A and B are shown apart, each in its own frame.
Chain A
Amino acid sequence: MAKVIIWSSLKSHTGGESNLEIEAVNVKDLLARLGETYPGLQPQLKRGVSVSVDGIIFRDGWLTPLKSDSEVVLLPRMQGG
């Protein structure tokens, strides 16, 4: 089960929890299951997110595999200038 941490202002969509656990093989799978389990997150997921997987930030790379004890932090979609 990957540990997923969401940012505080999304907690209203997850019953007040920012530390979640999701069973997923890769990031794509994880985001899909996150949206299914917590439909209130779907608008943000559609707007775009980045993820940090075990400390490394991924802006795309949704097929990045997850280990059974991976820590995934959800982040807004990275922008730059």
Chain B
Amino acid sequence: MPLDNAESSTRKYKVVGTRPNRPDGVDKVTGRARFGADAVAPGQLVGLILRSPHAHAKIKSIDASKALKLAGVKAVVTKDDLPDKTDGDAGLYDVLVNVMAREKALYQGHAVAAVAATSAAIAKAALKLINVDYEILPHVTDVDEAMKPNAPLLYPKMITDGVDPKPKKPSNIVRRYEFGHGDVEAGFRQADIVIERSFKTEATHQGYIEPHACLANVGPDGQGELWVCTQGHFMVRDTCARLLGMDFSKLRVTASEIGGGFGGKTTVFIEPVALALSRKANRPVKVVMSREEVFKATGPTSSSSIDVKIGATKDGRIVAGDATLRYQGGAFAGSPVEFGAMTAFAQYDLDNVRAIGFDVVCNRPKQAAYRAPGAPMANFAVESVIEELAHKVGMEPIDFRIKNAAREGTHSSYGPIYGPIGLLPTLQKAREHPHFKAPLGKNQGRGMACGFWFNFGGQSCVSMNIGVDGTVSVTVGSPDIGGSRASMGLMTAEELGIPYEKVRTVIADTGTLGYNDVTDGSRTTFATGMACILAARDAIKKLCARAAQIWGIPEDAVTWENGHAKPAGANAGNHPPMSLKEIAAQAPSTGGPIAGHHEYSADGAGVSFATHICDSEVDPETGFTKILRYTVLQDAGKAVHPSYVEGQFQGGAVQGIGWALNEEYIYGKDGRLQNAGFLDYRIPVCSDLPMIDTVILEIPNPGHPYGVRGVGETSIVPPLAAVANSVSAAVGVRMTETPISPPKLLAALEKQSAMKKAAE
């Protein structure tokens, strides 16, 4: 579509940019909102899943006969109830194997069978009666260990792709990626200073407070309904329908309100199993995961091991950047290592850059996205070295970054030439921000980092129906995970010229609209928002046409202004403007309902850059790190609802801080997760952190009529490095592993102290 470039920078908005209450707010704070576990159906059964206690084991047999004899048990399903209908689609086959194990259990928690019974107690008892004969196999859970030549193999035929010549022996390395340009060796020869470091990050979980839950209901005629908390109910429909061998149109999926997703609900885990149970039992089946199951059997991030080498001249110009990244994606191919490799150096203008990535499998659950998948780990490694290099060169870290920042025309480290981007403005704004000048005390330090995410567009459908009372119902297919309903309402009200309060945005089920891509990729305000704008413009055309008919003048003689149809000029006749409400009131007798639609696949999403500043204080006796002050400066293109843009900045920052300081998956030698609960997997809560300050920059994205850029993901990218850099400044210890938890920091401080004593 034509880009409204001129409009986005000069337009004065009436409602876009204001901060009305979110339409789902009252329901959510009063408990009226209905989440995944809140649906009930007459005759519903409780579904529970039997999960492997072993990290790696052959499944020799499954005997459910005793369970089936238990009164109240209505169905048991195994892989035999989910035959392979993936038709050669390797990605879908991995999903199938992940939702229900086939020949092997590949991680502790891997689903091996499921039961539907008339009560939770009976279902639990039935699980105990299912006899699974396992042959335990050696396991591996660390990414570097999994890459070693004698590591236990998950897939005996896996030969690494992307390596020339092709390896002769199988391994746990799925694929090798390489991005970059120039000649890094030649670049390093020009460097006056070179820093080389290795880093490790542990896996974390998105930590959404709502566990996965769904209610499945498949009838004997093969038609089904599914109520589910998800970021993408159309994706759920299509995936489940394919796995169960149903026509898409026979399965209607409704998205509940969602208590957080952050990328962890962009795929399926329990849904195909619930549908298979319902189909077999011929009753509705409700499956609700426990918190322990969420940790063990949904999609945490990859853990990583990264080597970074960066060289600069003594006047502060980076001449080469080289990184090798090793990510494990759990027991299946597809860790986001290529995105780590693509984003590692994306914020810099480099002549010589290389990033190599290895996708590795090991006996852990299948990873899923956590906001910007793959980027935070790479950013932690590169931005830590950048900070160290800046100090070595003798420049302020912010000036070092400004000197080397990517800008319009830069050949990005992942390939394309950048158009207009907002990195320099965020850096320059950060430099002027009062946070930078705030004084620091003993054991306190300041660090910073900058990062980015691509964002994308994708498929969205919007149906905009105008009621005879002049109120507007906007039907979208994008689950609201961050306040998008308010933004849709604002954009609709802006275009139509009516009050925001007269618009209601509803998220419809899969039977109501065409396909909508998952709410991920920071796409919703951009792509679904743009669809709302275009649907409103479609509705306006029809409103003008209706007014023209009522007035008896040609259609092109009517224009739309401030919520009213008006004659376009004096020649069109002396007709007083007719409001949307007045036209709508006459709709039944002048041609019927008036609606606007838009269905498309949006492209032209703009990247979003951010700079983060972090002040922390370390207690040298305990290794405890307190965040004193944190500021996020990020380019939003155009903030449709500034509070929800700020909310995304703050949420991503807080998750990154948790990732940096506290959160990690801890595995025992037996390959079992040791901390599968919020007591021992410690996410930040409100009392842990100060208010996260935010600055919204608006460098319009030419691909959107208002200049919108997605913002939800970028904010998790810089915090790991920003925190590590501030800890380093506070106590002079460079932490190269996350989390920088008190025991680890204390150990590092004690080691540093011992080395100082030894040197004296």
Binary contact readout B148-168 vs A (1 if CB under 8 angstroms, 0 otherwise): 000000000000011010000
Report chain B residues within 8 Å CB of A78: 454, 456, 521
A16 to B461, CA, bound (A): 43
Q: A47-B91, A55-B417, A76-B338 are in contact. Are A81 and B373 (CB under 8 A)?
A: yes
Report chain A residues within 8 Å CB of B523: 80
Pairwise interchain contact A52-B339, C-beta atoms closer than 8 A: no
Report chain A residues within 8 Å CB of B336: 79
- How close is B420's CB to chain A, nearest CB, in angstroms? 10
- A1-25 interface (Cβ within 8 A of B): 5, 7-10, 12
User: A64 at the A/B interface (Cβ < 8 Å)?
Assistant: yes
User: B176 at the A/B interface (Cβ < 8 Å)?
Assistant: yes
Of B544-552, B599-607, B664-672, the segment with at least 4 beta carbons within 8 Å of chain A is B599-607
Report chain A residues within 8 Å CB of B703: 56
User: A45 at the A/B interface (Cβ < 8 Å)?
Assistant: no
Q: A64-B603, A79-B336 are in contact. Are A7 and B177 (CB under 8 A)?
A: yes
A7 to B373, CA, bound (A): 19
**Which of A5, A59, A76 contacts B458 (CB under 8 A)?**
A59
Binary contact readout B409-441 vs A (1 if CB under 8 angstroms, 0 otherwise): 000001111110000000000000000000000
User: B726 at the A/B interface (Cβ < 8 Å)?
Assistant: no
A55 to B415, CA, bound (A): 9
User: B713 at the A/B interface (Cβ < 8 Å)?
Assistant: yes
User: B681 at the A/B interface (Cβ < 8 Å)?
Assistant: no
A80 to B342, CA, bound (A): 14
- How close is A27's CB to chain B, nearest CB, in angstroms? 10
Report chain B residues within 8 Å CB of A64: 603
A50 to B457, CA, bound (A): 12
Report chain B residues within 8 Å CB of A34: none
Binary contact readout A46-81 vs B (1 if CB under 8 angstroms, 0 otherwise): 010010100111111100100000010111101111
Pairwise interchain contact B371-A8, C-beta atoms closer than 8 A: no
A15 to B415, CA, bound (A): 19
User: B377 at the A/B interface (Cβ < 8 Å)?
Assistant: no
Report chain B residues within 8 Å CB of A50: 456
Pairwise interchain contact A79-B373, C-beta atoms closer than 8 A: yes
**Which of A8, A55, A60, A79 contacts B179 (CB under 8 A)?**
A8
A52 to B603, CA, bound (A): 10
A55 to B605, CA, bound (A): 11
**Which of A74, A75, A76, A81 contacts B370 (CB under 8 A)?**
A81
Q: A78-B454, A80-B263 are in contact. Are A7 and B372 (CB under 8 A)?
A: no
Q: A57-B603, A58-B603, A61-B603 are in contact. Are A81 and B266 (CB under 8 A)?
A: yes
A-B contact count (CB 8 A): 99
A10 to B179, CA, bound (A): 10
Pairwise interchain contact A81-B368, C-beta atoms closer than 8 A: yes
Report chain B residues within 8 Å CB of A52: 415-416
How would you classify the secondary structure of chain B's contact residues: helix, strand, loop or mixed?
loop
Report chain B residues within 8 Å CB of A55: 416-419
Q: Which residue of B lies closest to A16 (CB)?
A: B164
Report chain A residues within 8 Å CB of B368: 81
Pairwise interchain contact A7-B415, C-beta atoms closer than 8 A: yes
Q: A47-B91, A57-B454, A81-B520 are in contact. Are A12 and B164 (CB under 8 A)?
A: yes
Pairwise interchain contact B520-A43, C-beta atoms closer than 8 A: no
Pairwise interchain contact A60-B415, C-beta atoms closer than 8 A: no
Report chain B residues within 8 Å CB of A81: 206, 262-264, 266, 368-373, 520-521, 713
User: B596 at the A/B interface (Cβ < 8 Å)?
Assistant: no
Pairwise interchain contact B369-A79, C-beta atoms closer than 8 A: yes
Q: Which residue of A lies closest to B710 (CB)?
A: A80
Pairwise interchain contact A56-B456, C-beta atoms closer than 8 A: no
Report chain A residues within 8 Å CB of B414: 7, 75
Q: Which residue of B lies closest to A64 (CB)?
A: B603
Pairwise interchain contact A80-B521, C-beta atoms closer than 8 A: yes
Report chain A residues within 8 Å CB of B90: 47
Pairwise interchain contact B262-A60, C-beta atoms closer than 8 A: no
- How close is A66's CB to chain B, nearest CB, in angstroms? 14
Report chain B residues within 8 Å CB of A75: 342, 414-416
User: B47 at the A/B interface (Cβ < 8 Å)?
Assistant: no
- How close is B337's CB to chain A, nearest CB, in angstroms? 10
User: B725 at the A/B interface (Cβ < 8 Å)?
Assistant: no
Q: A76-B338, A80-B373, A81-B370 are in contact. Are A56 and B604 (CB under 8 A)?
A: yes
- How close is A47's CB to chain B, nearest CB, in angstroms? 7
| A-B pairs with beta carbons under 8 Å apart, 8 shown | A7-B179, A7-B414, A9-B177, A56-B603, A60-B459, A74-B415, A76-B338, A79-B336
Contact surface of B with A, Cβ cutoff 8 Å? 90-91, 161-162, 164, 176-180, 206, 262-264, 266, 336, 338-339, 342, 354, 356, 368-373, 414-419, 453-459, 518, 520-523, 601, 603-605, 703, 713
Known contacts A80-B263, A81-B521; 16 further A-B pairs (Cβ under 8 A)? A8-B178, A8-B180, A56-B603, A57-B416, A57-B454, A58-B603, A60-B458, A60-B601, A73-B416, A74-B415, A75-B414, A76-B177, A76-B339, A81-B368, A81-B520, A81-B713
Closest 10 pairs (CB-CB, A-B): A81-B263, A80-B521, A81-B369, A52-B416, A8-B178, A12-B164, A73-B415, A9-B178, A80-B520, A9-B162
